[in-house]
Amino acid sequence: MPPGAGNSADVGLLDIAPRAAGTAPGNSAGGSGALPAAGQHDDVEVPGGVFAMGDLFNEGYASDGETPVHDVAVAAFRIDATAVSNQAFAAFVDATGYRTESELHGTSAVFHLAVKAAPQDILNRVVGAPWWLNVRGASWARPAGPLSSWQDIPDHPVTQVSHSDALAYCAWAGRRLPSEAEWEFAARGGLAGRRYPWGDELHNAGSSGAGKNNCNIWQGEFPTSNLQEDGYLTTAPARSFAPNGYGLYQTSGNVWEWCSDWFLPKYYRTCHKEGLATDPQGPTIGRGRVMRGGSYLCHDSYCNRYRVAARSSNSPDSASGNLGFRTVAA
């Protein structure tokens, strides 16, 4: 199921308006320089420490279990500065011949305004979230459908990858997925108790237009009209916008990122009762795997999960055009 489909807004069926993904010029404050060479990772060092994990503003979805806020200790670790890019994932596929779950299934979910496919390859709409279309031939290599190619956006985050696909990449690269606690600690960038990686306000004070955007999320009326004030309809290059205090790019918006943990809404209540949690690895069972960071489809009217405390989940075999991952040095 695509991320957010379980929290769908009440909208009717929409006309398909195919257009290329990620073609608009972007707001890349902080630079959009070259990514690491294939097979290499541009790690940033995240110091160990104790932080307050969870929603300090009481604005999350109750079903996500963002509270109670609880103290968590994490050891120092090294994490990708960006989400894994298309070109990095292509190097993995070239080296191993790996086929993703979307390729094996033959279909995957594409946002309705981004589809690049012949009409016969658009199979159906996702129940409860009609802005997602099930497209034959959509995969990491053709993220918007058979008429698209990753080679057009090599520096964008890879998408259409399941949790199992992310683990396969990690095994090849000698990496691992971050724990949920590591992810939030790194995403905060050293700012304690803030709503976003840059502070508490979504936009920069005193600015207007594209210059006010700090991340790639939806602007306009979801899901029919995206004003693209941030420069993008769908994904932005992995190194767009200013990095946080630790040097991580886009831990709010752009693409959801898989974590290693199983997801249980009540898990934080268990952590809270046990006192200080040290390098927690999450519950031993769950109803899906944790996803963090939100995506280009997040909007406060629909999916206010681009906050650093926000959490969601999906089944491990799920893939979509707004779901990727970043890795940690093993």
State mean pLDDT over 40-69: 94
For the cut 50, the answer to whether the pLDDT of residue 270 exceeds it is: yes
Given pLDDT bands bounded at 50, 70 and 90, which one contains residue 14? very low
Beta strand pairing call for 70-74 and 277-278: parallel
State mean pLDDT over 252-264: 98
For 3, what's the count of Cα atoms within 13 Å in the CB-facing half-sphere?
36
Nearest by Cα to 94 from 177, 175, 174, 172: 172
Do 292 and 53 form a contact (C-beta atoms < 8 A)? no
Identify the residue with better confidence: 272 or 197. Answer: 197
Given pLDDT bands bounded at 50, 70 and 90, which one contains residue 96? very high
For the cut 60, the answer to whether the pLDDT of residue 23 exceeds it is: no
Q: How far is CA 41 from CA 160, 186, 323, 326, 327, in A?
A: 20, 16, 19, 10, 9
- Residue 157 one-letter amino acid: P
For the cut 70, the answer to whether the pLDDT of residue 130 exceeds it is: yes
For the cut 90, the answer to whether the pLDDT of residue 302 exceeds it is: no
Beta strand pairing call for 312-314 and 225-226: unpaired
For the cut 80, the answer to whether the pLDDT of residue 34 exceeds it is: no
Do 13 and 330 form a contact (C-beta atoms < 8 A)? no
pLDDT score at 19: 29
